[in-house]
Structure 1
Amino acid sequence: MNDPVRRFRSPALTAARFVAQRGLLRPVVWRLVRVTVTGHEHLRGLKGAFIVVANHSSHLDAPLIFGALPWRWAKHLAAGAAADYFFDVKWRTWLTVLFFNAYPVDRSGGRNRPRLSKALIEAGVPLLLFPEGGRARNGEGIRRFKPGAAALAIGTDVPVVPIGLVDAQRAMPRNRSWPVKGRPPVRVVVGDPMRAAEGESVEDFTSRLQQEVTRLSTREDDA
Protein backbone atom coordinates (compact mmCIF):
# COMPACT_ATOMS: atom_id res chain seq x y z
CA MET A 1 0.00 0.00 0.00
CA ASN A 2 1.36 3.39 -0.99
CA ASP A 3 2.10 5.66 1.95
CA PRO A 4 1.46 9.27 0.84
CA VAL A 5 3.59 10.73 3.65
CA ARG A 6 6.60 8.42 3.41
CA ARG A 7 8.67 10.70 1.19
CA PHE A 8 8.44 13.58 3.67
CA ARG A 9 10.64 11.72 6.18
CA SER A 10 12.70 9.68 3.71
CA PRO A 11 16.36 9.55 4.85
CA ALA A 12 17.58 9.68 1.25
CA LEU A 13 15.44 12.70 0.39
CA THR A 14 16.36 14.37 3.68
CA ALA A 15 20.04 14.02 2.80
CA ALA A 16 19.44 15.43 -0.68
CA ARG A 17 17.46 18.30 0.82
CA PHE A 18 20.30 19.09 3.23
CA VAL A 19 22.65 19.51 0.28
CA ALA A 20 20.08 21.56 -1.67
CA GLN A 21 19.15 23.82 1.24
CA ARG A 22 22.35 24.19 3.22
CA GLY A 23 24.85 23.70 0.42
CA LEU A 24 23.11 25.69 -2.33
CA LEU A 25 20.04 27.73 -1.43
CA ARG A 26 21.04 29.23 1.90
CA PRO A 27 24.52 30.38 0.80
CA VAL A 28 23.06 32.02 -2.32
CA VAL A 29 20.25 33.80 -0.47
CA TRP A 30 22.52 34.89 2.39
CA ARG A 31 24.93 36.33 -0.18
CA LEU A 32 22.21 38.27 -2.01
CA VAL A 33 20.55 39.74 1.10
CA ARG A 34 21.81 40.56 4.59
CA VAL A 35 19.89 38.27 6.91
CA THR A 36 19.44 38.78 10.63
CA VAL A 37 17.74 35.98 12.58
CA THR A 38 16.41 36.39 16.11
CA GLY A 39 14.33 34.21 18.42
CA HIS A 40 16.01 30.80 18.15
CA GLU A 41 15.72 30.53 21.91
CA HIS A 42 11.96 30.19 21.56
CA LEU A 43 12.41 26.84 19.84
CA ARG A 44 14.01 25.18 22.86
CA GLY A 45 11.90 22.32 24.06
CA LEU A 46 9.93 22.13 20.81
CA LYS A 47 9.49 18.47 19.94
CA GLY A 48 7.43 16.49 17.48
CA ALA A 49 5.24 18.07 14.86
CA PHE A 50 4.40 21.77 14.83
CA ILE A 51 3.10 24.38 12.41
CA VAL A 52 5.07 27.44 11.32
CA VAL A 53 3.02 30.44 10.17
CA ALA A 54 4.44 33.64 8.71
CA ASN A 55 3.54 36.70 6.71
CA HIS A 56 3.95 36.27 2.97
CA SER A 57 5.03 39.01 0.58
CA SER A 58 7.96 37.66 -1.44
CA HIS A 59 9.39 34.56 -3.07
CA LEU A 60 12.23 35.01 -0.55
CA ASP A 61 9.94 34.05 2.33
CA ALA A 62 10.24 30.27 2.24
CA PRO A 63 14.02 30.26 1.57
CA LEU A 64 14.50 32.68 4.46
CA ILE A 65 12.51 30.54 6.88
CA PHE A 66 14.14 27.26 5.89
CA GLY A 67 17.58 28.85 6.05
CA ALA A 68 16.93 30.60 9.36
CA LEU A 69 15.67 27.58 11.28
CA PRO A 70 18.30 25.25 12.76
CA TRP A 71 18.48 22.00 10.80
CA ARG A 72 17.07 20.06 13.72
CA TRP A 73 13.70 21.75 13.10
CA ALA A 74 14.02 22.39 9.36
CA LYS A 75 15.06 18.97 8.06
CA HIS A 76 11.53 17.52 7.82
CA LEU A 77 9.63 20.80 7.57
CA ALA A 78 7.13 20.56 4.70
CA ALA A 79 5.95 23.72 2.99
CA GLY A 80 2.43 24.05 1.69
CA ALA A 81 2.86 25.42 -1.85
CA ALA A 82 0.25 26.64 -4.31
CA ALA A 83 -0.78 23.71 -6.50
CA ASP A 84 -1.70 25.97 -9.41
CA TYR A 85 1.80 27.46 -9.60
CA PHE A 86 4.46 25.26 -8.00
CA PHE A 87 2.95 21.94 -9.09
CA ASP A 88 1.80 22.87 -12.59
CA VAL A 89 4.91 21.70 -14.48
CA LYS A 90 7.27 18.83 -13.68
CA TRP A 91 10.54 20.76 -13.38
CA ARG A 92 9.04 23.28 -10.92
CA THR A 93 7.40 20.49 -8.94
CA TRP A 94 10.71 18.64 -8.66
CA LEU A 95 12.61 21.73 -7.48
CA THR A 96 9.90 22.72 -4.99
CA VAL A 97 9.84 19.25 -3.49
CA LEU A 98 13.64 19.00 -3.39
CA PHE A 99 14.28 22.35 -1.72
CA PHE A 100 11.17 22.73 0.47
CA ASN A 101 9.82 19.21 1.04
CA ALA A 102 6.67 20.75 -0.41
CA TYR A 103 3.18 19.46 -0.90
CA PRO A 104 0.39 21.01 -3.01
CA VAL A 105 -2.12 23.40 -1.48
CA ASP A 106 -5.38 23.98 -3.31
CA ARG A 107 -5.93 27.73 -3.00
CA SER A 108 -9.45 27.38 -4.38
CA GLY A 109 -10.52 25.73 -1.12
CA GLY A 110 -10.40 22.07 -2.14
CA ARG A 111 -10.16 19.28 0.41
CA ASN A 112 -6.76 17.77 -0.44
CA ARG A 113 -4.76 20.10 1.74
CA PRO A 114 -6.57 19.55 5.07
CA ARG A 115 -6.52 15.79 4.60
CA LEU A 116 -2.83 15.59 3.70
CA SER A 117 -1.85 18.27 6.21
CA LYS A 118 -3.43 16.30 9.04
CA ALA A 119 -1.77 13.08 7.88
CA LEU A 120 1.63 14.81 7.83
CA ILE A 121 1.18 16.24 11.32
CA GLU A 122 0.10 12.83 12.63
CA ALA A 123 3.25 11.32 11.05
CA GLY A 124 5.40 13.82 12.93
CA VAL A 125 6.11 16.10 9.96
CA PRO A 126 6.09 19.84 10.84
CA LEU A 127 4.46 22.21 8.37
CA LEU A 128 5.12 25.69 7.01
CA LEU A 129 1.91 27.49 6.07
CA PHE A 130 1.26 31.02 4.87
CA PRO A 131 -2.23 31.81 6.19
CA GLU A 132 -2.71 34.80 3.89
CA GLY A 133 -3.11 32.31 1.05
CA GLY A 134 -0.69 34.10 -1.28
CA ARG A 135 1.84 36.89 -1.45
CA ALA A 136 0.72 40.38 -0.48
CA ARG A 137 1.01 42.96 -3.24
CA ASN A 138 3.77 45.56 -3.14
CA GLY A 139 3.02 48.08 -0.40
CA GLU A 140 0.14 46.05 0.97
CA GLY A 141 0.11 45.12 4.63
CA ILE A 142 -0.56 41.67 6.02
CA ARG A 143 -3.84 40.39 4.68
CA ARG A 144 -6.46 38.66 6.76
CA PHE A 145 -5.38 35.16 7.78
CA LYS A 146 -7.41 32.25 6.55
CA PRO A 147 -8.47 29.83 9.32
CA GLY A 148 -6.84 26.64 8.00
CA ALA A 149 -3.64 26.75 10.07
CA ALA A 150 -5.48 27.50 13.30
CA ALA A 151 -8.07 24.80 12.62
CA LEU A 152 -5.34 22.27 11.89
CA ALA A 153 -3.45 23.17 15.06
CA ILE A 154 -6.58 22.83 17.17
CA GLY A 155 -7.62 19.59 15.50
CA THR A 156 -4.21 17.94 15.94
CA ASP A 157 -3.22 19.61 19.23
CA VAL A 158 0.17 20.89 18.03
CA PRO A 159 1.87 24.22 18.72
CA VAL A 160 2.12 27.00 16.16
CA VAL A 161 5.43 28.85 15.73
CA PRO A 162 4.80 32.42 14.51
CA ILE A 163 7.49 34.02 12.38
CA GLY A 164 7.71 37.62 11.25
CA LEU A 165 9.56 38.44 8.04
CA VAL A 166 10.77 42.02 7.93
CA ASP A 167 11.54 43.81 4.64
CA ALA A 168 11.49 40.69 2.46
CA GLN A 169 9.19 42.47 0.04
CA ARG A 170 11.58 45.41 -0.24
CA ALA A 171 14.44 43.02 -0.92
CA MET A 172 12.52 41.13 -3.59
CA PRO A 173 9.30 42.82 -4.69
CA ARG A 174 6.47 40.86 -6.22
CA ASN A 175 7.36 41.82 -9.79
CA ARG A 176 10.97 40.60 -9.56
CA SER A 177 12.46 37.15 -10.00
CA TRP A 178 15.70 38.09 -8.21
CA PRO A 179 16.50 40.27 -5.17
CA VAL A 180 17.40 43.90 -5.73
CA LYS A 181 21.08 44.80 -5.86
CA GLY A 182 23.11 45.91 -2.88
CA ARG A 183 22.37 43.12 -0.38
CA PRO A 184 19.30 44.71 1.18
CA PRO A 185 18.70 43.83 4.87
CA VAL A 186 15.96 41.41 5.88
CA ARG A 187 15.03 39.98 9.26
CA VAL A 188 13.54 36.68 10.38
CA VAL A 189 11.96 36.97 13.83
CA VAL A 190 10.92 33.71 15.51
CA GLY A 191 8.25 34.01 18.19
CA ASP A 192 7.15 31.86 21.09
CA PRO A 193 5.15 28.74 20.13
CA MET A 194 1.44 29.31 20.60
CA ARG A 195 -1.44 26.98 21.40
CA ALA A 196 -5.15 27.55 21.35
CA ALA A 197 -6.65 28.16 24.77
CA GLU A 198 -9.15 25.66 26.06
CA GLY A 199 -12.42 26.26 24.25
CA GLU A 200 -10.93 28.93 21.99
CA SER A 201 -12.61 29.12 18.60
CA VAL A 202 -10.77 28.76 15.31
CA GLU A 203 -11.63 32.36 14.49
CA ASP A 204 -10.22 33.71 17.74
CA PHE A 205 -7.03 31.66 17.49
CA THR A 206 -6.59 32.78 13.89
CA SER A 207 -6.90 36.39 15.03
CA ARG A 208 -4.30 35.87 17.78
CA LEU A 209 -1.89 34.28 15.31
CA GLN A 210 -2.29 37.18 12.90
CA GLN A 211 -1.74 39.72 15.66
CA GLU A 212 1.48 38.00 16.76
CA VAL A 213 2.86 37.64 13.24
CA THR A 214 2.03 41.29 12.62
CA ARG A 215 3.85 42.27 15.81
CA LEU A 216 6.92 40.21 14.93
CA SER A 217 7.04 41.47 11.35
CA THR A 218 6.95 45.14 12.39
CA ARG A 219 9.61 44.98 15.09
CA GLU A 220 12.25 47.65 14.64
CA ASP A 221 14.65 46.73 17.44
CA ASP A 222 17.91 44.93 16.75
CA ALA A 223 17.55 42.42 19.57
Structure 2
Amino acid sequence: MAEDEGGANRELVEEIASSGGSLLRRAAQLLLLRPVLRAAISLQVHGRERLRGLTGPFVVVGNHSSHFDTAAIFDALPGRLARRLSTGAAADYFFTSPTRKLLPRLFFNVFPVDRPGKRLLGGRSHRGLAGQLLDRGVPVLIFPEGTRSRNGVLGRFTPGTARLCTTRGIPCVPAALVGAHAAWPATRKLWRRGRPPVHVTFGAPLQPRKGESSLLFGARVQAEVLRLHDQTARAFGLPTMRELATGALRRALPGGREKRS
Protein backbone atom coordinates (compact mmCIF):
# COMPACT_ATOMS: atom_id res chain seq x y z
CA MET A 1 0.00 0.00 0.00
CA ALA A 2 1.39 3.39 -0.93
CA GLU A 3 2.18 5.77 1.91
CA ASP A 4 -0.39 8.39 0.87
CA GLU A 5 -3.00 5.68 0.39
CA GLY A 6 -2.38 4.32 3.87
CA GLY A 7 -2.52 7.81 5.33
CA ALA A 8 -5.85 8.54 3.62
CA ASN A 9 -7.30 5.30 4.95
CA ARG A 10 -6.05 6.03 8.46
CA GLU A 11 -7.80 9.40 8.31
CA LEU A 12 -10.98 7.69 7.16
CA VAL A 13 -10.80 5.12 9.97
CA GLU A 14 -10.29 7.93 12.48
CA GLU A 15 -13.28 9.82 11.06
CA ILE A 16 -15.56 6.78 11.29
CA ALA A 17 -14.29 5.69 14.70
CA SER A 18 -14.64 9.15 16.20
CA SER A 19 -18.27 9.39 15.06
CA GLY A 20 -19.15 6.00 16.56
CA GLY A 21 -21.69 6.25 19.36
CA SER A 22 -23.01 9.54 18.01
CA LEU A 23 -26.20 10.70 19.69
CA LEU A 24 -27.11 12.40 16.41
CA ARG A 25 -26.90 9.03 14.65
CA ARG A 26 -29.16 7.38 17.19
CA ALA A 27 -31.66 10.22 16.93
CA ALA A 28 -31.66 9.87 13.13
CA GLN A 29 -32.14 6.10 13.41
CA LEU A 30 -35.09 6.51 15.76
CA LEU A 31 -36.77 9.59 14.30
CA LEU A 32 -36.12 9.13 10.57
CA LEU A 33 -35.07 5.59 9.68
CA ARG A 34 -37.39 3.66 11.98
CA PRO A 35 -40.68 5.35 10.94
CA VAL A 36 -39.90 4.88 7.24
CA LEU A 37 -38.82 1.27 7.69
CA ARG A 38 -41.77 0.30 9.84
CA ALA A 39 -44.22 1.98 7.49
CA ALA A 40 -42.94 -0.36 4.77
CA ILE A 41 -42.64 -3.64 6.72
CA SER A 42 -43.85 -5.29 9.90
CA LEU A 43 -40.52 -5.83 11.65
CA GLN A 44 -40.37 -8.51 14.34
CA VAL A 45 -37.23 -9.01 16.41
CA HIS A 46 -36.20 -12.17 18.25
CA GLY A 47 -33.21 -13.00 20.44
CA ARG A 48 -32.25 -9.47 21.41
CA GLU A 49 -31.84 -10.65 25.00
CA ARG A 50 -28.90 -12.79 23.82
CA LEU A 51 -26.92 -9.60 23.23
CA ARG A 52 -27.01 -8.38 26.82
CA GLY A 53 -23.53 -7.65 28.06
CA LEU A 54 -22.05 -7.55 24.55
CA THR A 55 -19.34 -4.89 24.48
CA GLY A 56 -16.17 -4.00 22.63
CA PRO A 57 -15.50 -4.81 19.00
CA PHE A 58 -17.56 -7.58 17.40
CA VAL A 59 -18.82 -8.60 13.96
CA VAL A 60 -22.50 -8.98 13.07
CA VAL A 61 -23.15 -11.29 10.11
CA GLY A 62 -26.40 -12.10 8.34
CA ASN A 63 -27.89 -13.62 5.23
CA HIS A 64 -28.30 -11.08 2.43
CA SER A 65 -31.13 -11.13 -0.09
CA SER A 66 -33.00 -7.83 0.23
CA HIS A 67 -32.64 -4.07 0.07
CA PHE A 68 -34.11 -4.05 3.59
CA ASP A 69 -31.35 -6.12 5.21
CA THR A 70 -29.03 -3.41 6.52
CA ALA A 71 -31.78 -1.14 7.83
CA ALA A 72 -33.62 -4.07 9.45
CA ILE A 73 -30.55 -5.23 11.37
CA PHE A 74 -29.67 -1.73 12.55
CA ASP A 75 -33.24 -1.14 13.71
CA ALA A 76 -33.44 -4.53 15.42
CA LEU A 77 -30.26 -4.08 17.46
CA PRO A 78 -30.32 -2.49 20.92
CA GLY A 79 -29.65 1.23 20.63
CA ARG A 80 -26.33 1.11 22.47
CA LEU A 81 -25.02 -1.25 19.77
CA ALA A 82 -26.75 0.23 16.71
CA ARG A 83 -25.34 3.70 17.18
CA ARG A 84 -21.75 2.37 17.35
CA LEU A 85 -22.04 -0.12 14.49
CA SER A 86 -20.42 0.52 11.11
CA THR A 87 -21.07 -1.28 7.84
CA GLY A 88 -19.59 -1.37 4.37
CA ALA A 89 -21.03 0.32 1.29
CA ALA A 90 -19.91 0.28 -2.35
CA ALA A 91 -17.08 2.78 -2.76
CA ASP A 92 -17.80 3.25 -6.46
CA TYR A 93 -21.39 4.34 -5.76
CA PHE A 94 -21.91 5.77 -2.28
CA PHE A 95 -18.56 7.55 -1.94
CA THR A 96 -18.43 9.36 -5.28
CA SER A 97 -19.91 12.54 -3.79
CA PRO A 98 -20.56 13.98 -0.31
CA THR A 99 -24.32 14.09 -0.91
CA ARG A 100 -24.55 10.44 -1.94
CA LYS A 101 -22.89 9.18 1.23
CA LEU A 102 -24.69 11.63 3.53
CA LEU A 103 -27.64 9.47 4.60
CA PRO A 104 -25.75 6.13 4.66
CA ARG A 105 -23.10 7.75 6.87
CA LEU A 106 -25.74 9.31 9.11
CA PHE A 107 -27.78 6.12 9.58
CA PHE A 108 -25.16 3.38 9.24
CA ASN A 109 -21.72 4.98 9.78
CA VAL A 110 -20.61 3.41 6.49
CA PHE A 111 -17.08 2.69 5.31
CA PRO A 112 -16.14 2.18 1.63
CA VAL A 113 -15.82 -1.30 0.16
CA ASP A 114 -14.20 -1.92 -3.22
CA ARG A 115 -16.37 -4.07 -5.48
CA PRO A 116 -14.67 -6.53 -7.85
CA GLY A 117 -14.46 -5.19 -11.37
CA LYS A 118 -15.30 -1.63 -10.35
CA ARG A 119 -12.97 1.34 -10.64
CA LEU A 120 -11.16 2.15 -7.40
CA LEU A 121 -12.37 5.37 -5.86
CA GLY A 122 -9.60 7.95 -6.18
CA GLY A 123 -7.35 5.19 -7.50
CA ARG A 124 -6.77 3.79 -4.01
CA SER A 125 -7.72 0.53 -2.33
CA HIS A 126 -9.89 0.39 0.79
CA ARG A 127 -8.96 -3.17 1.61
CA GLY A 128 -8.58 -3.87 5.31
CA LEU A 129 -10.79 -1.05 6.59
CA ALA A 130 -13.09 -3.41 8.51
CA GLY A 131 -10.14 -4.83 10.42
CA GLN A 132 -8.77 -1.37 11.15
CA LEU A 133 -12.14 -0.29 12.52
CA LEU A 134 -12.33 -3.37 14.74
CA ASP A 135 -8.84 -2.58 16.01
CA ARG A 136 -10.20 0.83 17.01
CA GLY A 137 -13.05 -0.84 18.91
CA VAL A 138 -15.74 -0.20 16.29
CA PRO A 139 -18.13 -3.14 15.71
CA VAL A 140 -18.98 -3.88 12.08
CA LEU A 141 -21.85 -5.45 10.15
CA ILE A 142 -20.83 -7.66 7.23
CA PHE A 143 -22.80 -9.84 4.83
CA PRO A 144 -20.31 -12.64 4.11
CA GLU A 145 -22.06 -13.80 0.93
CA GLY A 146 -20.62 -10.69 -0.70
CA THR A 147 -23.76 -9.85 -2.66
CA ARG A 148 -27.52 -10.14 -2.37
CA SER A 149 -28.97 -13.54 -3.23
CA ARG A 150 -31.33 -13.26 -6.21
CA ASN A 151 -33.56 -16.13 -5.05
CA GLY A 152 -33.33 -15.84 -1.26
CA VAL A 153 -31.16 -18.95 -0.91
CA LEU A 154 -28.16 -18.66 1.41
CA GLY A 155 -24.88 -18.49 -0.50
CA ARG A 156 -21.45 -19.58 0.66
CA PHE A 157 -19.81 -17.31 3.20
CA THR A 158 -16.45 -15.92 2.14
CA PRO A 159 -13.67 -16.67 4.67
CA GLY A 160 -12.53 -13.10 5.23
CA THR A 161 -15.27 -12.28 7.73
CA ALA A 162 -14.45 -15.22 9.97
CA ARG A 163 -10.77 -14.29 9.76
CA LEU A 164 -11.56 -10.88 11.23
CA CYS A 165 -12.78 -12.69 14.35
CA THR A 166 -10.24 -15.51 14.62
CA THR A 167 -7.21 -13.25 14.23
CA ARG A 168 -8.49 -10.89 16.93
CA GLY A 169 -10.30 -13.27 19.24
CA ILE A 170 -13.52 -11.27 19.02
CA PRO A 171 -17.11 -12.57 18.91
CA CYS A 172 -19.39 -12.89 15.93
CA VAL A 173 -23.12 -12.21 16.27
CA PRO A 174 -25.19 -14.36 13.86
CA ALA A 175 -28.35 -12.69 12.55
CA ALA A 176 -30.99 -14.33 10.38
CA LEU A 177 -33.33 -12.29 8.20
CA VAL A 178 -36.57 -14.07 7.33
CA GLY A 179 -39.13 -12.64 4.93
CA ALA A 180 -36.93 -9.77 3.78
CA HIS A 181 -36.38 -11.32 0.35
CA ALA A 182 -40.12 -11.61 -0.24
CA ALA A 183 -40.64 -8.04 0.98
CA TRP A 184 -38.05 -6.42 -1.28
CA PRO A 185 -35.84 -8.70 -3.38
CA ALA A 186 -32.77 -7.39 -5.14
CA THR A 187 -34.54 -7.72 -8.49
CA ARG A 188 -37.30 -5.21 -7.66
CA LYS A 189 -37.03 -1.43 -7.76
CA LEU A 190 -39.65 -1.00 -5.04
CA TRP A 191 -40.77 -3.05 -2.05
CA ARG A 192 -44.02 -4.96 -1.94
CA ARG A 193 -47.00 -3.15 -0.49
CA GLY A 194 -49.00 -4.18 2.56
CA ARG A 195 -46.25 -4.11 5.22
CA PRO A 196 -45.09 -7.72 4.74
CA PRO A 197 -43.57 -9.40 7.81
CA VAL A 198 -39.79 -9.35 8.19
CA HIS A 199 -38.14 -11.16 11.08
CA VAL A 200 -34.65 -10.55 12.47
CA THR A 201 -33.40 -13.27 14.82
CA PHE A 202 -30.15 -12.83 16.74
CA GLY A 203 -28.19 -15.80 17.98
CA ALA A 204 -25.87 -15.83 20.96
CA PRO A 205 -22.46 -14.34 20.12
CA LEU A 206 -20.06 -17.02 18.88
CA GLN A 207 -16.48 -16.91 20.11
CA PRO A 208 -13.65 -18.48 18.09
CA ARG A 209 -12.33 -21.56 19.89
CA LYS A 210 -8.68 -21.95 20.73
CA GLY A 211 -6.87 -23.14 17.62
CA GLU A 212 -10.02 -22.96 15.47
CA SER A 213 -9.25 -22.04 11.87
CA SER A 214 -11.07 -19.27 10.05
CA LEU A 215 -12.54 -21.89 7.70
CA LEU A 216 -14.06 -23.92 10.54
CA PHE A 217 -15.25 -20.87 12.44
CA GLY A 218 -16.86 -19.48 9.29
CA ALA A 219 -18.65 -22.78 8.71
CA ARG A 220 -19.91 -22.73 12.30
CA VAL A 221 -21.21 -19.18 11.89
CA GLN A 222 -22.94 -20.00 8.60
CA ALA A 223 -24.55 -23.10 10.11
CA GLU A 224 -25.91 -20.99 12.96
CA VAL A 225 -27.35 -18.36 10.60
CA LEU A 226 -29.05 -21.18 8.66
CA ARG A 227 -30.39 -22.75 11.87
CA LEU A 228 -31.78 -19.44 13.12
CA HIS A 229 -33.37 -18.72 9.75
CA ASP A 230 -35.14 -22.04 9.47
CA GLN A 231 -36.19 -22.08 13.13
CA THR A 232 -37.81 -18.67 12.68
CA ALA A 233 -39.33 -19.56 9.31
CA ARG A 234 -41.00 -22.68 10.70
CA ALA A 235 -42.33 -20.79 13.71
CA PHE A 236 -44.08 -18.22 11.51
CA GLY A 237 -45.07 -20.31 8.50
CA LEU A 238 -42.49 -18.87 6.10
CA PRO A 239 -40.26 -20.78 3.65
CA THR A 240 -37.14 -22.47 4.97
CA MET A 241 -33.91 -22.30 2.99
CA ARG A 242 -34.56 -25.75 1.55
CA GLU A 243 -38.02 -24.67 0.43
CA LEU A 244 -36.60 -21.50 -1.12
CA ALA A 245 -34.01 -23.58 -2.97
CA THR A 246 -36.64 -26.04 -4.18
CA GLY A 247 -38.79 -23.20 -5.48
CA ALA A 248 -35.84 -21.61 -7.26
CA LEU A 249 -34.93 -24.93 -8.88
CA ARG A 250 -38.48 -25.52 -10.10
CA ARG A 251 -38.62 -22.07 -11.67
CA ALA A 252 -35.30 -22.70 -13.41
CA LEU A 253 -36.39 -25.99 -14.99
CA PRO A 254 -37.75 -26.05 -18.56
CA GLY A 255 -41.41 -25.17 -18.40
CA GLY A 256 -41.02 -23.83 -14.90
CA ARG A 257 -42.94 -20.66 -14.21
CA GLU A 258 -40.51 -17.79 -13.72
CA LYS A 259 -41.98 -15.39 -11.22
CA ARG A 260 -41.37 -11.73 -11.75
CA SER A 261 -39.97 -10.26 -8.57
Letter in 2 for 1:158: I
Letter in 2 for 1:186: V
1:136 corresponds to which residue?
A: 149
- Aligned equivalents of 1:44 and 1:21: distance in 2? 20
1:12–1:67 CA distance, 2 compared to 1 (3 A): closer
Residue 25 of structure 1 is aligned with which of 26, 29, 33?
A: 33
Contact in 1 for aligned 2:21/2:84 (Cα 8 Å): no
Q: Which structure has the higher relative contact order (CA within 8 Å, separation 6+)? A: 1
Q: How far 1:89 sits from its partner (Å)?
A: 4.3
What CA deviation, in whole Å up to 9, does each residue of 1:135-179 have, x standing for no partner? 100x24111000111001111211000000001010012122332
- Aligned equivalents of 1:9 and 1:54: distance in 2? 22
Q: Residue 5 in 1 paired to residue 21 in 2? A: no
Contact in 2 for aligned 1:81/1:103 (Cα 8 Å): yes
Contact in 2 for aligned 1:189/1:217 (Cα 8 Å): yes
- Aligned equivalents of 1:82 and 1:208: distance in 2? 27
Aligned length: 220
Q: Residue 217 in 1 paired to residue 225 in 2? A: no
Contact in 2 for aligned 1:160/1:193 (Cα 8 Å): yes
- State the secondary structure of the residue aligned to 1:161: strand
- Aligned equivalents of 2:15 and 2:211: distance in 1? 35
Residue 66 of structure 1 is aligned with which of 74, 77, 99?
A: 74
Q: Residue 112 in 1 paired to residue 126 in 2? A: yes
Residue 92 of structure 2 is aligned with which of 78, 84, 88?
A: 84
Unaligned runs of 5+ in 1: none
Q: Residue 57 in 1 paired to residue 85 in 2? A: no
Q: How far 1:11 sits from its partner (Å)?
A: 5.4
Contact in 2 for aligned 1:150/1:205 (Cα 8 Å): yes
- The alignment's C-alpha RMSD in Å is 2.1
Q: How far 1:95 sits from its partner (Å)?
A: 2.0
Residue 56 of structure 2 is aligned with which of 48, 51, 62?
A: 48
Letter in 2 for 1:25: L
- State the secondary structure of the residue aligned to 2:65: coil
Between 1:197-206 and 1:124-133, the stretch displaced more is 197-206
- Aligned equivalents of 2:13 and 2:138: distance in 1? 9
Letter in 2 for 1:173: P
- Aligned equivalents of 2:198 and 2:51: distance in 1? 20
1:177–1:19 CA distance, 2 compared to 1 (3 A): farther
1:129–1:30 CA distance, 2 compared to 1 (3 A): same
Q: How far 1:94 sits from its partner (Å)?
A: 2.0
Unaligned runs of 5+ in 2: 1-6, 237-261
- State the secondary structure of the residue aligned to 1:85: helix
Identity of aligned residues (%): 45
* Structure 1 residues 122-161: aligned runs within 5 Å: 122-137=135-150, 139-161=151-173
Higher Rg: 2
- Aligned equivalents of 1:83 and 1:50: distance in 2? 23
